[in-house]
Amino acid sequence: MKRSCRFSLPVTVVISVIGYIYTSTVFVFVDQWFGLRSSPGIMNAAAFTAVALMCTINYAVAIFTDPGRIPATFMPDIEDADNPIHEIKRKGGDLRYCQKCSHYKPPRAHHCRVCKQCVLRMDHHCIWMNNCVGHANYKVFFIFVLYAVIACIYSLVLLVGSVMYGSEKEGQQSEGSYRTIYVISGLLLVPLSVALGVLLGWHIYLILRNKTTIEYHEGVRAMWLAEKGGDVYSHPYDVGAYENLTSALGPNILCWLFPTSRHIGSGLRFRTAFEKLASATASK
């Protein structure tokens, strides 16, 4: 489901940063190190353009894709034998119901106060996208972060190479202007590479455990309560690293780096560790 265009200041900042990094990388770093008319220059410019283009496409898709709304006709079936998990409220034990949206919430869905809607398999609200990260756009968000990390590190390598091996044919005025670009780019790329690298590592961990950011924090509390009661907490949607990975990125490894989403399903129901254990027991 698509949503209308809603630009914001953080989105404008991200677009401006992408444009600046691309322009400085191709027309300054690559040009100064290799020369844009040389074979290495053309190859590096083409490779970085491809990475930047994929980064931009995934960012745009993540922004404009609705993260996943609960159908108006959704009604939990507590007698469904094929669905062993029905999330309930912490207090009272009733089925989870959203008073603001006036409908029941399926497992892993949460209400976003910013978007003013319940989001299927909500991970978090991202101000840099002016959108929630949820069931329908989580993969695209993850791939965007991956390409952003690659682009930042690639640009940083070209920056260092340009400084070390750049030609000295330019005039003094031109050198001064390039020096400013180098300083600004370095101050931008180093913290971006670190921050995005940490974010990428965090979501790789979440994907391998089949958790959302919200479920991670809820799981920490549930684990503490379980240990306090002498029990062991296990995340119900963790069905093994490989199956967790394919549920997020798709079964076809060739499509992992592209914004495809045919594999995601309805977002109303997810395979659980209990089902995997039951099927393994039945096959013996």
Residues assigned a catalytic role: 126
Q: CB under 8 Å to 48, separation ≥6 — which residues?
A: 22, 25, 26, 30, 151, 154, 155, 158
Strand pairing partners for 73?
Answer: none
Buried b (16+ CB within 10 A) or exposed e, 121-155: bbbebbeebbbbbbbbbbbbbbbbbbbbbbbbbbb
First to last CA, the chain: 42
CB 196 within 8 A of CB 145: yes
Residue 5 to residues 56, 142, 226, Cα–Cα distance (Å):
16, 21, 44
